[in-house]
Chains A and B, each alone.
Chain A
């Protein structure tokens, strides 16, 4: 059989997921000189872009401009999008293996890590990711309810998701109205009675995961003041020595910004954002009705591990922080996919440089690949997925050259569309998505907002005249 990749016999690749890793992989494949490749991208939602649509905060529109790159990829005539087609439900591995030479899974890290402490399931205790998906109009989360009558809220973690949640809780209705936040969330947050938001970091200022722009922008909020305890803004001796040795300018600047918030100043804004360091929650305390009423915290100190990391160690000093709602943001985790080997320890697909491995032999499974967060775990920024996907595609091309691909039958005609139509008659093409996109943008223009999102699949299908 001739090797796929020619005009008469194009290489057929299926990509599951349509977030940044999926698009960067498609882009790199389609750019290969001398290789004719047809890329079909599947997503369980009718809309593409993954976390760029459902994760990136609505007040960070500039970050979302990366979708222009994705649209450019999708404009390639060798690219197709099948939205509202779920792997494992509408389409199986067996189906894919009958139609594609290579299959790439880029489904991201869809679930959150739990804290593993008592009281985590009390009413009012949520995964920060659920709140993020809710305010971003993810169809699966639009019916979630968050009790915004609570005046005091804790966010556990100081990574970018935690920062987003704390900031969204602190924005004024006018600030929120300038974003593409989901309409229902805009309404609910406009009536919010939240007065105090506590961001809790288990390590010190020098180890905080947020970026400098993220911490800096908290100081520019119209309706909220940042407050940090002076003693918690001070560096411990280990961090100080570490920073003096590394002279890491980014971290030095970060510590400076943090310390600038530690000076007591008169409160003039209605909300306060408290940034706490060196504390870990040990228990969520509830009332008789099962609602969260407080968070029990332990004070930490830092110690250096053998390899040099400054890690937190609990002391015997505890405190109770009265809060009516808690968002945990201590990490994401991938979800295992039907038929695809999973590495439970790291919460990713079992892989080596993006080649999916057989768990018994540790040898690559022919034609099966992965990229993005489901490959390496939740780390880095959107752009990190580019080198990550390039690495996977390099493996795909290397294997193709070696003849290691799925030797699917040479179909005289492309039968995948026919199959998808049978399984999901309402599947959404990229042209359909661009129609929805245009409608969202034009609705946004009317309201002076970047866009007004459709937040249910039914609404989207209705807009498409289905």
Chain B
């Protein structure tokens, strides 16, 4: 299964933030939209980093003034991206191995979506449920047919 299956049911809206904005604004957006990460983009809307709940907590642990800091100082700069053509299973393996919870999805240099580990788990669960349902249906079928 390809990532585009996941993207297809997520609409086209991706929440982004600029590096010069404050962490407080990021937190507000995360809470407002009930999401776990924001993609940080430059003036040409190209992804340059990602800021997640975890990034904020890591900084907050030793810095009380984190809310006023700029996103660019707190974000994860070493960005790993994927495309809609990547395989779900390969991406799941990568996310698990490298302990990544969110991956921006890029097509032709443009940000087209964000993949969360929850999306991956949901897709895999659906795949397994579907296979089980198929097997159950066939097992109950008339053995002569």
Contact = CB atoms under 8 A, between A and B. Distances in A.
Interface of A: 61-63, 65-66, 68-69, 207, 242, 245-246, 248, 305-311, 343, 345-346, 348, 350-354, 357, 362, 375-377, 379-388, 450
Given A305-B83, A308-B93, A362-B13, A383 B137 contact: yes
17 contacts: A62-B145, A63-B138, A65-B138, A65-B141, A66-B137, A69-B137, A245-B93, A307-B94, A345-B107, A350-B12, A362-B12, A376-B8, A382-B134, A383-B131, A383-B134, A384-B130, A450-B145
Nearest to B106: A306
A308 B9 contact: no
Contacts of A350: 11-12
A70 to B, nearest CB: 11
B142 interface: yes
Contacts of A385: 130
Interface in B64-121: 80-87, 89-91, 93-94, 103, 107, 112
A381 B145 contact: no
Contacts of B138: 62-63, 65
Contacts of A308: 86, 90-91, 93-94
A386 B9 contact: no
A348 B142 CA distance: 35
Contacts of A346: 4, 7-8, 84
B130 A383 contact: yes
B126 interface: yes
A148 B108 CA distance: 41
Interface residues of B, number: 43
A383 B135 CA distance: 9
A377 B129 CA distance: 18
Contact of B5 (A306, A311, A379): A379
User: Top 10 closest A-B pairs, CB basis?
Assistant: A384-B130, A383-B133, A65-B141, A307-B82, A308-B94, A383-B134, A383-B130, A308-B90, A352-B11, A309-B86
A351 B133 CA distance: 25
Contact of A362 (B8, B11, B93): B11
Contact of B11 (A65, A351, A380): A351
Interface of B: 1-2, 4-5, 7-13, 80-87, 89-91, 93-94, 103, 107, 112, 125-127, 129-135, 137-138, 140-142, 145
Nearest to A346: B8
Contacts of B90: 242, 305, 307-310
A65 B83 contact: no
B87 A388 contact: no
Contacts of A306: 80-82
A377 to B, nearest CB: 5
Nearest to A245: B93
Main secondary structure of the interface of A (DSSP, over half): mixed
Contacts of A248: 89
Given A381-B134, A383-B129, A305 B86 contact: yes
B126 A388 contact: yes
B67 to A, nearest CB: 29
Among the interface residues B8, B13, B86, which one has the most CB atoms of the partner chain A within 10 A? Answer: B8
A308 B87 CA distance: 8
A65 B137 CA distance: 7
A309 B81 contact: no
B82 A377 contact: no
Given A65-B145, A352-B11, A383-B130, A246 B93 contact: yes
A313 B20 CA distance: 39
B11 A381 contact: no
B82 to A, nearest CB: 3
Among the interface residues B13, B81, B130, which one has the most CB atoms of the partner chain A within 10 A? Answer: B130
Contacts of A381: 130-131, 134
Contacts of B85: 309, 311
A376 B5 contact: yes
A328 B90 CA distance: 26
B101 to A, nearest CB: 14
B2 to A, nearest CB: 7
Contacts of A242: 90
Contacts of B141: 62, 65, 68
Contacts of B103: 307
Contacts of A388: 126
Contacts of A68: 141
Nearest to B100: A307
B129 to A, nearest CB: 5
Contacts of B112: 345
A320 B36 CA distance: 51
Given A62-B145, A309-B85, A381-B134, A386 B129 contact: yes
Contact of B8 (A246, A348, A382): A348
A307 B126 contact: no
A380 to B, nearest CB: 5
B1 A379 contact: yes
A351 B81 contact: no
Contacts of B7: 346
A375 B9 contact: yes
A352 B10 CA distance: 5
